[in-house]
Amino acid sequence: MSFSIETNASGRARERFEWRHSHGFEVEALGGRHSGWKLVRMSNPPLSILHPSSLYAPLKRKYSSNVLGQSSDGKEVVAVWSEVSWSLTKVLRFRFLSTGADGSLGDRWAVMAVASALAIWHRDRRSRSVTGSAGF
């Protein structure tokens, strides 16, 4: 799933973002499931994301080949989410990262990121319920 939107960082230009399924350390750091989704900014990332945060220090050792906030193809990861399986009141954990967290992409972008994450969650939940009821 991908979307394009005008961001504050690009002036009036549209930028493209793509949700990718992930087992990376950004997802694991959310404390939910070990797999989830990361939102990748398809333009070139700023140099500032190449310095890992101390928040991820224990996981950084485990995944030393990757850089915090960077996908395997070198793109910036700006948001991440995973489902929560052990809570009665929460269904997912969501976190903005890098330029997604510092506000430079803008409020419209933030709303689109959250809305698109919820759309993926809803689609996946609906497909699991259809698959689960097919055996009856």
pLDDT digits (tens, 9 = 90+) for 81-100: 998 877 778 788 999 999 99
Model pLDDT, residue 55: 47
Question: Distance (Å, rounded) from C-alpha 117 to C-alpha 123?
Answer: 10
Q: Residue 134 corresponds to which tokens in the numbers above? A: 């097919």
Handedness of CA 63, 64, 66, 68 (dihedral sign): positive
What's the pTM value of the predicted model, to 2 decimals?
0.76
Question: Distance (Å, rounded) from C-alpha 105 to C-alpha 10?
Answer: 8
Model pLDDT, residue 44: 67
Q: Which amino acid is at 22?
A: S
Q: Where are the domains of the chain?
A: 2-133
**What confidence tens digit (pLDDT) does each residue in 5-48 have?**
999 887 778 999 999 999 877 888 887 677 899 999 998 655 44
